[in-house]
Chain A
Amino acid sequence: MNMQGILKYNLALLSFICFFSIFFESNSPYIVYSALLFAIISLSRLSSLISRKIRILDDFKLDLIVSLVAALLIIRELSDTFGLTLWLLSICAWLLSWLAVEKLMKEESKSYPFIYSFGIPVLFGFWLLFFWEIVTVGLDIPTVILPPPSMIGIKFISSLDILFADFQQTFMKSVLAGYFIGCSSAFIFAVLIDKNDFLRRGLLPVGNFISALPIVGIAPIMVMWFGFDWHSKAAVVVVMTFFPMLVNTLSGLNSSSLIERDLLNTYAASYWQNLFKLRLPAAMPFIFNALKINSTLALIGAIVAEFFGTPIVGIGFRISTEVGRMNLDMVWAEIAVAAIAGSASYGVLSLIERLVTFWHPSYRLKNN
Chain B
Amino acid sequence: MLFAIKNKVIPVLAVLSAIGFLWYGFTIFLNSPWQIQNYEKSSIEWSYFDLAKDTMAHERPILPAPHQILSEIWQTTVKKKITSKRSLIFHSWVTLSSTLMGFFMGTAMGITLAIFIVENKAMDKSLMPWIITSQTIPILAIAPMIIVVLNAVGLSGLLPKAMISAYLSFFPITVGMVKGLRSPDPILIDLMRTYSTSRLKLFFALRLPSSVSFLFTSMKVAIAISLVGAIVGELPTGAVAGLGARLLTGSYYGQTIQIWSALISAATLAAMLVISVNIISQVTFRLMGIQKP
Contacts and interface: CB of A to CB of B under 8 A. Distances in A.
A144 B121 CA distance: 37
Interface string A191-224: 0000000111111011001001110111011011
A331 B146 CA distance: 11
B251 A220 contact: yes
B5 to A, nearest CB: 12
Interface in B204-235: 221, 224, 227-228, 231-232, 235
Nearest to B266: A214
A43 interface: no
A120 B11 contact: no
Q: Chain A interface residue count: which class?
A: 35 or more
Contact of B138 (A117, A120, A146, A338): A338
Contact of A216 (B140, B153, B260): B140
B273 to A, nearest CB: 9
Interface string A118-139: 0011011100100000000000
A116 interface: yes
A320 interface: yes
Nearest to B223: A212
Interface residues of B, number: 59
B267 interface: yes
Interface stretch (A12-20, A78-86, A177-185, A339-347): A339-347
A201 B145 contact: no
A202 B62 contact: no
Interface stretch (B43-51, B69-77, B79-87, B122-130): B122-130
Nearest to B271: A209
Contact of A304 (B148, B232, B263, B274): B232
A98 interface: yes
A299 interface: yes
Contact of A319 (B122, B130, B145, B232): B145
B117 to A, nearest CB: 12
B141 A303 contact: yes
A contacts with B: majority SS: helix
B62 A144 contact: no
B149 to A, nearest CB: 6
A4 to B, nearest CB: 10
A213 B274 CA distance: 11
A296 B62 contact: no
Contact of B130 (A121, A225, A299): A121
A339 B140 contact: no
B236 to A, nearest CB: 8
Contact of A199 (B11, B128, B259): B11
A101 B122 contact: yes
Given A3-B120, A214-B266, A304-B232, A339 B137 contact: yes
A338 B141 contact: yes
A338 B137 CA distance: 6
Nearest to A304: B141
Contact of A296 (B13, B135, B221, B262): B135
Contacts of B8: 201, 205
A300 B149 contact: no
B137 A128 contact: no
Contacts of B259: 217, 220-221
A147 to B, nearest CB: 11
B contacts with A: majority SS: helix
A342 B121 contact: no
Contacts of A3: 120, 122
Contact of B121 (A105, A199, A323): A105
A307 B274 CA distance: 29
Contacts of A206: 12, 15-16, 19
A102 interface: yes
Most buried by A among B145, B248, B267: B145
A89 B210 CA distance: 42
A189 interface: no
Contacts of A203: 11, 15
Given A144-B152, A338-B138, A214 B231 contact: yes
B62 A225 contact: yes
A123 B256 contact: no
B256 to A, nearest CB: 7
A56 B11 CA distance: 70
Interface of A: 3, 98, 101-102, 105, 116-117, 120-121, 123-125, 128, 144-146, 198-203, 205-206, 209, 212-214, 216-218, 220-221, 223-225, 295-296, 299-300, 303-304, 307-308, 315-316, 319-320, 323, 328, 331, 335, 338-339, 342-343, 345-346
28 contacts: A3-B120, A101-B122, A101-B125, A116-B125, A120-B125, A145-B149, A198-B14, A201-B7, A202-B10, A202-B14, A202-B15, A203-B15, A205-B8, A206-B12, A213-B267, A214-B270, A216-B231, A218-B263, A299-B136, A303-B138, A316-B141, A319-B141, A320-B144, A323-B145, A335-B137, A338-B142, A339-B138, A342-B137
Pick the 9 closest A-B CB pairs, nearest first.
Answer: A342-B136, A202-B11, A220-B251, A303-B141, A202-B15, A124-B126, A212-B224, A201-B11, A121-B129
Interface of B: 7-8, 10-16, 19, 62, 120-122, 125-130, 132-133, 135-142, 144-145, 148-149, 152-153, 221, 224, 227-228, 231-232, 235, 244, 247-248, 250-251, 254, 256, 259-260, 262-263, 266-267, 270-271, 274
Given A125-B130, A145-B149, A213-B224, 14 more contacts: A105-B125, A117-B125, A121-B130, A124-B127, A205-B12, A214-B263, A217-B244, A224-B251, A303-B138, A323-B144, A335-B137, A339-B137, A342-B137, A342-B138
